[in-house]
Amino acid sequence: MRRSSHSAHHDSGTITADLFTMLMMLFAVMMVVVATMLRTPIGQQLFEMTERITQLQAERDQASAEREQWRQAANEKDRLAERLAREKEEAVRQTAALQEASNHQDHQIKELRSSLARSKENASRSRQQTEHALAQARKSQSELTEATERNRELKQQVARTEAERDDLQNPVDAKPITMVIAIDTSASMAEEIARAQEDVLTLARVLPQVTSVRIGVVAYRGRPYSVFPVTKIESPRTDGGASLRRLEHYLGSLGVHSEHVDQAAAIRTALRMLDRAPQPGVASFCLIGDVGPFEVTHGLSSTAIEQQVLREVQAWCGSRELRGVCAIYTGEQNPDAAAHIAFFQRLAATADDRGSYSANPSRLLADLLLSSVAE
């Protein structure tokens, strides 16, 4: 608005000056004419003045042109400044938009990385779950295979037991049997205890049908250990199954305990139980476990406690006829278990030809039966 007002004022002044110049030139021309007509020196001066006025007019016109150029340059400068301001404002806006877009892209990249990390974690968890499920499936398949094999072996044992029972039907050959079973109830024996419970009960059901049977049990760990006293197991036809139920109740109450076992004391207890319940016929001691007498040694060395136990069992076997020993080892079969395996083998050897050793827990029923009826 200031430029427009200035231009209008400038144009008004220019018109006034031009009018004045024209009047002066007209006056000068008139004066020249007069001077020429009069032929005086004043005419010459007037002529020179007219030329000077013409020169000044040309200079004024040049100055006006230069002022116009300056005005146009100023206007162009203003226009350039405005354009530069607009371009600067646009650049700032574009820069802000680019920064916002960059921040948005950074946020999207972070979200993608986080999503990728979660996907990897989920994939890893799914893979672990799949591997665990496959391992469980393989374990279940292995357990099913083992159960099937055990069922087959049990059927074979039952068939053998029934055949042996048939062989014992002659009362002349069927001698009374007294059996005491010492079984390790430490934590490592959980599976074997369940098998022994089933097999001892099977034995208690079968033998009373062919001969007089008395059974005692020593469930040992560290002290104290539990005892089922030597009890005559009657045929259900005789006592309605009362004696069998007492044995079944005792065996069902056995649990496992995480502690060292006092095997030597348990063996001595079992032998005393057999000595205190004498009767004609077969007396059988059976040991079921996965370690030798090396965890609780009563101050003796491992070798000394082993030799002491073996001497006591051998002396018991030699004190009467028809005394047998059944040693059933249920532990690992590896070099670290060599001393335990050797003890069970030596224990069976104390009874000479009436001793039996087994490292196959699945044959427990057959081994118990053979140890009780072998002569």
Question: Do residue 221 and residue 358 come from a single domain?
Answer: yes
In a domain, 188, yes or no: yes
In a domain, 158, yes or no: no
In a domain, 30, yes or no: yes
Give the strand pairing for 213-220 and 226-232. Answer: antiparallel
In a domain, 357, yes or no: yes
Write down which residue in 42, 62, 95 finishes a domain.
95
Quote the domain boundaries for residue 87.
2-95
Beta strands in 190-307 (DSSP E): 213-220, 226-232, 282-289
Q: Is the dihedral of CA 351, 304, 192, 232 positive or negative?
A: positive
- What is the per-residue pLDDT for 40? 62
Q: What is the pLDDT of residues 125-163, one digit of tens each?
A: 888 888 888 888 888 788 778 777 877 776 676 666 566
Write down which residue in 77, 95, 113 finishes a domain.
95
Q: Please tell me whether residue 216 adopts helix, strand or coil conformation.
A: strand
Question: What is the DSSP annotation of 58-102?
Answer: HHHHHHHHHHHHHHHHHHHHHHHHHHHHHHHHHHHHHHHHHHHHH
Residue ranges of the chain whose pLDDT lies below 50: 1-3, 168-172
In a domain, 145, yes or no: no
Write down which residue in 95, 123, 139 finishes a domain.
95
In a domain, 165, yes or no: no
- Which CATH number is 345's domain given? 3.40.50.410
Question: Do residue 179 and residue 90 come from a single domain?
Answer: no
pTM of the model: 0.55
Count of structural domains, the chain: 2
- What is the per-residue pLDDT for 231? 94
Q: What is the pLDDT of residues 204-222, one digit of tens each?
A: 998 898 889 999 999 988 7
Question: Do residue 217 and residue 72 come from a single domain?
Answer: no
Question: Do residue 228 and residue 358 come from a single domain?
Answer: yes
In a domain, 275, yes or no: yes
Question: Do residue 198 and residue 77 come from a single domain?
Answer: no
Q: What is the pLDDT of residues 209-264, one digit of tens each?
A: 888 999 999 998 876 578 999 999 998 889 999 999 999 999 998 888 777 888 99
